[in-house]
Amino acid sequence: MNRVYNFAAGPSAMPEAALRQAAQEMLDFNGSGMSVMEMSHRSKAYQDIFDETEALLRELMHIPDTYSVLFLQGGATGQFAAIPMNLLREGGSADYVDSGNFAHGAMVEAKKYGDIRCVASSKDENYIRIPALDKAAFNPEADYFYITTNNTIFGTRYPELPETGDVPLVADMSSNILSEVFDINRFGVAYAGAQKNVGPAGLTLVIVRRDLLGRARSICPKVMNWTVMTEKGSMLNTPPTYAIYMAGLCMKWLKAQGGVEGIEQVNLEKSKLLYDVLDASDFYRAPVVPAYRSRMNVTFTTPSPELDAAFVKAAAGEGLVSLKGHRLVGGIRASIYNAMPIEGVRKLAEFMKKFEMENR
């Protein structure tokens, strides 16, 4: 077996320790005589796994009991619809910041359910920065204010969260949840598709301040209704049981790395390794305005699309895979989520220098 360094943007690399434990327990979890995949979600054995996973997430993110933690399905894209159906009052309005492809998609989907205002956009700059936010443009009566804390495709990140006063901040954190310390109390709702920093695809985390429950529209499908799902402990219907178990194994690994506080330092170091190579080079171009650089998704180009393709191919030959940029922007993207070891990033940094020398 020869494991590669997988720089995919999601689904993406997972901790090897979690995968090893999953493989070992696949036919017999903890003497139960069955796989976690085969367990009734109503069994005590499974409820224990579920409860432990929720407790770990609360511990890692310091989530107080004033927030409900939900393990749902449908991905962030499902939440694009769920958010207005759970929060937008009849005749109400919400503010959105258009900082990238998924932020834009969230806004378009929300418009199906009510009055959605775009308070800032960096679309005309091809999303190379988080747009400047003018507080005077915020609607103080908005039902919520929507942001995307990290933009996976373009490789940008909010250096600080907007101040929205009494308007609840709703954040898609799919690509940087658990990667750095956030004060959860700043958010009305924080949510994430699991497949980047949490666990496997098919699981969606929604962390919602309890005072925001009870507002869901009558047209909201039950499986998307945060109030119903809170009452049912995420088990109105069968949850994605195995994905939750895997997320728990990944969180145990994260805790052993010193938790979010510990991994944040590693992530800073990892991203610095790559940005240092980019900044020292006149061969590579890093399009993102430095103040908004993502720590999770490092985007860059070589002098030509042909060289970009040659880079991706040659890197794969050295076990550095899935480095092709998103089709919307081209170029190269190195996604270096929590589970990417620093050794993999070092190897990529060395490869970048070598490739530059050979192709300048």
Q: Nearer to its own copies by C-beta: 291 or 328?
A: 328
* In the complex, minimum distance from the CB of residue 245 to its own copies, in angstroms, rounded to a whole number: 10
Q: Nearer to its own copies by C-beta: 4 or 55?
A: 4
* In the complex, minimum distance from the CB of residue 157 to its own copies, in angstroms, rounded to a whole number: 21
Q: Nearer to its own copies by C-beta: 252 or 353?
A: 252
- The residues of the shown chain that bind its own copies, judged by CB under 8 A, are 1-4, 6, 8-14, 16, 19-20, 22-24, 26-28, 32-35, 37-41, 43, 73-78, 80-82, 85, 109, 112-113, 193, 195, 200-203, 218-219, 221-224, 236-243, 246, 319, 321-322
- Cα-Cα-Cα-Cα torsion 6, 8, 9, 10, nearest 10 degrees, comes to -90
Measure the CA–CA gap between 64 and 185, rounded to whole angstroms.
Answer: 8
Q: Nearer to its own copies by C-beta: 20 or 135?
A: 20
Q: Please compute Rg for the chain using Cα positions.
A: 21
* In the complex, minimum distance from the CB of residue 114 to its own copies, in angstroms, rounded to a whole number: 11
Q: Quick one: 185 exposed, middle or buried, by C-beta within 10 A (0-12, 13-18, 19+)?
A: exposed
Q: What is the DSSP string of 155-218?
A: TEE-SS----TTSPEEEE-TTTTTTS---GGG-SEEEEETTTTTSSTT-EEEEEEGGGTT---T
* In the complex, minimum distance from the CB of residue 213 to its own copies, in angstroms, rounded to a whole number: 19
Q: Nearer to its own copies by C-beta: 303 or 330?
A: 330
Q: Nearer to its own copies by C-beta: 236 or 310?
A: 236
Look up residue 58 and give its amino acid: R
CB 216 within 8 A of CB 85: yes
Secondary element (H or E) of residue 26: none
Q: How far apart are the first and last CA of the chain?
A: 35
Measure the CA–CA gap between 226 and 189, rounded to whole angstroms.
Answer: 11
Cis bond leading into 84, ω under 30°?
no
Measure the CA–CA gap between 180 and 85, rounded to whole angstroms.
Answer: 29
Q: Nearer to its own copies by C-beta: 318 or 359?
A: 318
* In the complex, minimum distance from the CB of residue 160 to its own copies, in angstroms, rounded to a whole number: 28
- What are the C-alpha distances in Å from 191 to residues 70, 76, 106, 148? 9, 7, 13, 10
Pairing of strands 169-172, 144-148: parallel
* In the complex, minimum distance from the CB of residue 269 to its own copies, in angstroms, rounded to a whole number: 22
Measure the CA–CA gap between 133 and 130, rounded to whole angstroms.
Answer: 9
Q: Nearer to its own copies by C-beta: 251 or 277?
A: 251
* In the complex, minimum distance from the CB of residue 314 to its own copies, in angstroms, rounded to a whole number: 16
* In the complex, minimum distance from the CB of residue 89 to its own copies, in angstroms, rounded to a whole number: 16
* In the complex, minimum distance from the CB of residue 217 to its own copies, in angstroms, rounded to a whole number: 9
Q: Nearer to its own copies by C-beta: 33 or 159?
A: 33
- Chain centroid to Cα 156, Å, comes to 13
* In the complex, minimum distance from the CB of residue 97 to its own copies, in angstroms, rounded to a whole number: 20
Q: Nearer to its own copies by C-beta: 165 or 221?
A: 221
Q: What is the DSSP string of 258-321?
A: THHHHHHHHHHHHHHHHHHHHHT-SSSB--S-GGGB-SSEEEEB-SSHHHHHHHHHHHHHTTEE
Look up residue 186 and give its amino acid: R
